[in-house]
Structure 1
Amino acid sequence: MMNMLQFEAGVLEKLNAKAHWVWRETLKIHRQSQETRVASSLSAVEIFVTLYYGGFLRFDPANPLWELRDRCIISKGHGSLCMYPILADLGYFSVTELEKVCKEGSFLGGIPDPVIPGYETINGSLGHGAGVGAGMALGLKRKGRNQSVYVVTGDGELHEGSNWEAFMFAGQHRLDNLTVLVDNNHISMLGPTDEIISHRSLIRKFDAFGWFAIEVADGHSVAAIAKALQDCRREASGKPSAIIVNTRKGNGVPGLQDAPLSHVAAIKPDLIDQLIGER
Structure 2
Amino acid sequence: MASATFTVQQDTALTNSHISLNVAQTASLRSQLKSQRGILNSNNIKALCSQYAVSEDSLLQGLVPLASEFSVAPVSLFHVGAIVKALDENGDIHFYFGANVEFNHQALSLVVHAEQSAINNAWLNGAKKILKIAISDAPCGYCRQFMNELADAKEFDILLPNQQFTLAELLPHSFGPTDLGNEFSLFNPKPQLAKFNLDGLDETFARFALNAYVPYSQNFCAVKIVTFNDGDFYGSYAENAAYSPSLSPLQSALSQFFLAGLSFNESVVKGITLLETKGQENQAGVAKAVLASFSNLPALEIISAPLKE
Name the TM-score, length of structure 2 as normaliser. 0.26
**Higher strand fraction (1 or 2):** 2
**Higher helix fraction (1 or 2):** 1
